[in-house]
Amino acid sequence: MQAHGLEDALGTPRLLTARDAGLLGCRACGRVSAAGTGACARCGARLASRDPTSLQRVWAWWLAGLIAYIPANLYPMLLTSRFGHVRENTIIGGALDLAHHGDYGVAAIVFAASVLIPVGKFLAIAYLALSLKLPTALGRHGRHRLHEVVEFIGRWSMIDVFVVAILSALVQFGFAATINPGIAAATFALSVAFTMLSAQSFDPRLIWDAEERDSR
Amino acid sequence: MAAPDPTGLIACPTCDALYRERRIGADEVARCRRCGTVLAAPQSGAMTRITMLAGAALVLMVAAVSFPFLELSEMGLQQRSSVVDAILAFSDGRTAPLSLALALLIVLLPAARLLALLYTLGPMALGWQPWRHAALAFRWAEKMRPWAMAEVFIVGVAVALVKVAGLATVTLGPAFWAFCLLVLITVRKDSIMCRLTVWKTLSERHAS
């Protein structure tokens, strides 16, 4: 779609970036400031032409998320006791249970939210971070789209934690049936939060900088 | 090369491409030519609509927290639970910190975000000057956006309902419907909000 109401800055034939022009663009509100400005005059956000610590923070949160994801899969997410008989369900066990009962649609949602999305996110963020230095098959538009998807979809992994919370609050019938949360719920929630922070730390402008470097 | 004058320029937040700003009409969509990110999509009367939707959502949030959410009955036993009970489900033992996180994600951050939006956009909808620290409030409202997970929670509720459906009879309480409505309103509100327009209006009103 055409950009209505916006013209290329300075009438140059090719697109100019704020950095090329020696200016600073604000990522929160779009306002452009002179180089050396510390905080955006309009919205007060901290300005940086390119955040030099972006990749460090991406990898730090990524690793923290991966570490928290391991116990999230090994320990039980849900403790179900019926008539004194206690069953422990891990994340994958819970999804399999649903499938056994014939609830394939819901099983698919749980599986996607707790396994496919987190694992896909780890791979996607690592790929994006590595692609800045290494040659990649996916173009800039593809990687830009990938980053958008990762940022959008990350929070939906929290579904399983909410499911555990609601089940534990609802099913409290003493001896007859009780559901309690397992420790994996906490580590899984941490893992989701860490990977969200990792994706947010990634500065998408770095993807497009690589393009300029290549085409020169 | 000396840096050009930055006034009247905007930079794409995603790829840093520089544009000279022109008036963008209502219901137009301005996209970055390089990466396709929507830079501005102002809608007529958006400020008033967002303010009213945020106000409605806030009232619904109060209802969603205070009324019973779901009711479960099995073999003559009844268990009624509110959103607060769901949050407190983790409060025993090692998972206690998760209760706090849940309270933040489901109730506190969505509510704080609504309040911040009302604080920023309310005066603008009425044509007043922005209140003190309106820029700060709006910047935080945008920062909180990914962490306000009311809509994720409602999908979680749906999954949980399927899981207990075989175990017992579930009755949906008034808070459940309030929460569903709240989610719909929040999604609608976010879809009509144009960040760039809000920032521009904020700074214009402030200068006048």
Residues B72 and B153 reside in one and the same domain: yes
In contact, A180 and B104? CB cutoff 8 Å: no
Residue to substitute from A2, A12, A27, A29, interface B, most B β-carbons within 10 A: A29
Residues B90 and B191 reside in one and the same domain: yes
Chain B CB contacts of A204 below 8 Å: 14-15, 35
Sheet of B18-21, strand order: A6-8, B18-21, B9-11
Residues B36 and B53 reside in one and the same domain: no
The single residue listed with the structure tokens 């891990």 is A90
Residues B158 and B173 reside in one and the same domain: yes
pLDDT tens-digit series, residues B112-167: 999 999 998 888 888 788 888 888 898 899 889 899 898 899 988 888 888 887 77
What residues contact A200, with CB distance under 8 A and at least 6 apart?
A151, B146
Q: Please tell me which of A66-75, A85-94, B32-41 the model is most confident about, judged by mean pLDDT.
A: A66-75
pLDDT at residue B112, rounded to an integer: 93
Chain A from 111 to 130: CB within 8 A of any B CB: none
In contact, A200 and B143? CB cutoff 8 Å: no
Flag whether residue A107 sits within 8 Å of chain B, measured between CB atoms.
no
Residues B198 and B98 reside in one and the same domain: yes
Q: Please name the member of A4, A44, A168 whose beta carbon is closest to the beta carbon of B28.
A: A4
Which residue, among A34, A8, A43, A148, has the nearest Cα to B17 in the 3D structure? A8
pLDDT at residue A13, rounded to an integer: 52
Residues B180 and B113 reside in one and the same domain: yes
Q: Is residue A7's pLDDT more than 80?
A: no
List the single residue in A with minimal CA-CA distance to B21. Answer: A6
Lowest mean pLDDT among A23-32, A118-127, B70-79: B70-79
pLDDT at residue B45, rounded to an integer: 81
Average pLDDT of the residues in A184-192: 92
Residues B36 and B70 reside in one and the same domain: no
Higher pLDDT, B18 or A174: B18
Lowest mean pLDDT among A190-199, B74-83, B120-129, B169-178: B74-83
Q: Is residue A3's pLDDT more than 80?
A: no
Q: Please name the member of A106, A155, A200 whose beta carbon is closest to the beta carbon of B162.
A: A106
Q: Please name the member of A9, A17, A164 whose beta carbon is closest to the beta carbon of B20.
A: A9
Give me the interface pTM, i.e. the ipTM.
0.84
Average pLDDT of the residues in A50-79: 91
Average pLDDT of the residues in B32-50: 84
Q: Is residue A158's pLDDT more than 80?
A: yes
Question: Treating both helix axes as pointing N-terminal to C-terminal, what angle do B109-125 and B195-207 enclose, rounded to 10 degrees?
Answer: 50
How far away is chain A from the Cα of B55, in angstroms, using its nearest Cα?
A: 24
Residues B32 and B53 reside in one and the same domain: no
pLDDT at residue A2, rounded to an integer: 38
Interchain proximity B11–A200, CB inside 8 Å: no
Torsion of CA A53, A56, A57, A63, to 10 degrees: 180
The single residue listed with the structure tokens 């934690």 is A161
pLDDT at residue B40, rounded to an integer: 84
Work out the mean pLDDT of chain B and round it to a whole number.
Answer: 85
Average pLDDT of the residues in A112-117: 88
Interchain proximity B156–A16, CB inside 8 Å: no
- The pLDDT-based confidence of A42 (bands split at 50, 70, 90) is confident
Interchain proximity B19–A7, CB inside 8 Å: yes
List the single residue in A with minimal CA-CA distance to B202. Answer: A42
Residues B19 and B58 reside in one and the same domain: no
Instruction: Determine what percent of chain A is predicted with pLDDT higher than 90.
Output: 21
The single residue listed with the structure tokens 């090719």 is A14
- The pLDDT-based confidence of B183 (bands split at 50, 70, 90) is very high
Under 8 Å CB pairs connecting chains A and B tally to 261
Q: Rounded distance, CA B196 to CA B76, Å?
A: 56
Task: Give the domain range for residue B35.
Answer: 1-42
Residues B154 and B182 reside in one and the same domain: yes
Chain B CB contacts of A12 below 8 Å: none
Residues B32 and B52 reside in one and the same domain: no
Residues B88 and B145 reside in one and the same domain: yes
How far away is chain A from the Cα of B9, in angstroms, using its nearest Cα?
A: 6
pLDDT at residue B184, rounded to an integer: 93
Compute φ and ψ for A84, nearest 5 degrees. Answer: 85, -10
Q: What are the residue boundaries of the structural domains of chain A, listed by start?
A: 1-49, 54-215
pLDDT tens-digit series, residues B9-30: 888 888 888 888 777 777 788 8
